[in-house]
Amino acid sequence: MKRPLRAAAAATMLLHASTGVALEASNVENAINTTLADNRSGAITSASLRSILLLINQTGLHLNSDGSIAFPGGPAVGTYVNGALALAPKSITAPRFGNIATRILIGSNPDGQQGWTDAKTRNPTSLLVDVGGYGDPTFSGFAIPTSISGAISVPANAADIYHATGTAGYARTASIPVGGVGLYGQGDAAAPGVTAWGFNTRTQDNGFHTDGLWGGEIDVNIDAAGTLVRGLDIVGGSNAQPSLASPGLIVQSPGVFKKGSATPIFWGRGVLVDDESALTGIEVGTSRVHANTGSMPITFKYRDGANARLESFRLYAPDASGAIEISRPNGLFQIRGDIDGTKVNTLRVVGGNVGLGVGAPSAPSYPLDVFGAARFSGKVGFGGEAPSERCSLPAAVPADGSASNATRDALINAVRACLITKGLAQ
């Protein structure tokens, strides 16, 4: 059961965040409990205070008449200064979950970091909840100032528990206009040239061969047929066009610091749409939402001898006709069917016509329409006949009429045989 914060009777004053109205200590309990019930009320001036209200309520901290905060019968752990809560470093030994010890630290600063320009190793944290003895968190040996941290260490003998969570967020909603967000992060830029992340996670094996690592997993569980689901939705509410070099989704090397070196590290597949997972593996939409609009292109890149990154070709529907266009801006377009030395059927057109030629005057009317000149450098076969070499003909017949009938007949028969062999006559 939650224990309400007990306020002393003496008049310790706090300022309301929105109205500036002073609150007596006797009203602080009501203000805190109201904030616990509805954190949107803004009844407490300090965002830091709102962050630890639940902790204060559960541990039964006292608000003393001098403005200090103390455990029942214990020393002061912080004071109210000008309506804000200033906490002194304090370690709380919380109740154990069986044999799992929990430690709560208020104002954890294990390396004594002295501000934003004092680089240390372990994170200074305003509120740290450590379950199982994880220890002082660090970011690869760099101290990252943190407002609230959850840390948990799972021992080798743990069993019959699905998993352990360092920090979790849960939200339930029964309101149609108000959605529930289980976990929210926001990174704000406050000056030009800075960087910010809405969230940033990391998974590492620390040199151990594991049964699998996941950088992130998104589970969607549906029990009501027909529910509209978005597994991952990348969207924004921007009011300005970002750089056109900005990708909506980027897959980088799993060894990004070795990129360009003699020993790069690769994913086996950059993107995998697994078997029996979707009716359409990949869908590419239109370039605009207006009428008479073609598709967005899919482009392929290559690097030339000067290491310039160039476009190899693009595949798209350029207009509203529905025609598919493959553009090759920088050279030959090639279809190859003998990868790894094995020849395969390379290209088959079924149920449609193909037109070849520059500036074709009309749509093709036959399975193959050649508009303009054509050249065949290898064996040729027509009418279903197997391709064969060029025909060998007798010597040219004299044009002065001196050739005998036998010579002319031999030439005619040779041409006839050639036409039949090529499938051009029968």
Q: What is the pLDDT of residues 342-362, one digit of tens each?
A: 777 767 777 788 888 776 667
H or E segment to which residue 148 belongs:
strand 146-152
Residue 409 belongs to a domain: yes
Same domain? For 20 and 69 the reply is: yes
DSSP 8-class letter at 340:
G
Percent of the chain with pLDDT over 90: 40
35 — pLDDT class (breaks 50, 70, 90): very low
Same domain? For 110 and 97 the reply is: yes
Asked if 53 contacts 64 with a C-beta cutoff of 8 angstroms, the reply is: no
What are the pLDDT digits (tens) for 365-398? Answer: 888 888 888 888 888 888 888 888 888 888 888 8
User: Average pLDDT for residues 286-306, to the nearest whole number?
Assistant: 93
pLDDT for the residue numbered 359: 63
Residue 102 belongs to a domain: yes
Asked if 344 contacts 337 with a C-beta cutoff of 8 angstroms, the reply is: yes
What are the pLDDT digits (tens) for 328-340? Answer: 776 777 777 776 7
Asked if 75 contacts 86 with a C-beta cutoff of 8 angstroms, the reply is: no
Same domain? For 67 and 111 the reply is: no
Final residue of a domain: which of 88, 107, 141?
88
Pick the residue with more confidence: 9 or 330?
A: 330
Residue 122 pLDDT exceeds 60: yes
Same domain? For 95 and 79 the reply is: no
Same domain? For 6 and 31 the reply is: yes
pLDDT mean across residues, the chain: 79
Residue type, 213: L
Same domain? For 103 and 67 the reply is: no
Residue 233 belongs to a domain: no
What are the pLDDT digits (tens) for 187-245? Answer: 999 999 999 999 999 999 999 999 999 999 999 999 999 999 999 999 999 999 999 99
What are the pLDDT digits (tens) for 234-280? Answer: 999 999 999 999 999 999 999 999 999 999 999 999 999 999 999 99
57 — pLDDT class (breaks 50, 70, 90): very low
Residue 258 belongs to a domain: no
Residue 135 belongs to a domain: yes
Asked if 388 contacts 376 with a C-beta cutoff of 8 angstroms, the reply is: no
Final residue of a domain: which of 51, 69, 88?
88
pLDDT for the residue numbered 43: 44
What are the pLDDT digits (tens) for 130-147? Answer: 898 999 999 989 999 999
Residue 93 pLDDT exceeds 70: no
CA angle 213, 281, 234 (to 5 degrees): 65
Q: 78: how many CB neighbours lie within 10 A of its CB? A: 21
Same domain? For 93 and 82 the reply is: no
Same domain? For 68 and 24 the reply is: yes
What are the pLDDT digits (tens) for 360-371? Answer: 667 788 888 888
Pick the residue with more confidence: 390 or 106?
A: 390
- Location of structure tokens 């006797």: 26
Q: Are strands 62-63 and 100-108 parallel, antiparallel or unpaired?
A: unpaired
User: Average pLDDT for residues 404-424, to the nearest whole number?
Assistant: 88
Same domain? For 16 and 94 the reply is: no
295 — pLDDT class (breaks 50, 70, 90): very high
Residue 56 belongs to a domain: yes
Final residue of a domain: which of 88, 123, 145?
88
Residue 388's domain comprises 376-426
Counted domains in the chain? 3
Same domain? For 96 and 122 the reply is: yes
Pick the residue with more confidence: 84 or 152?
A: 152
pLDDT for the residue numbered 303: 92
Residue 41 pLDDT exceeds 50: no
Residue 308 belongs to a domain: no
pLDDT for the residue numbered 392: 83
Q: Is the pTM of this model over 0.85?
A: no
Residue 267 belongs to a domain: no
Same domain? For 30 and 40 the reply is: yes
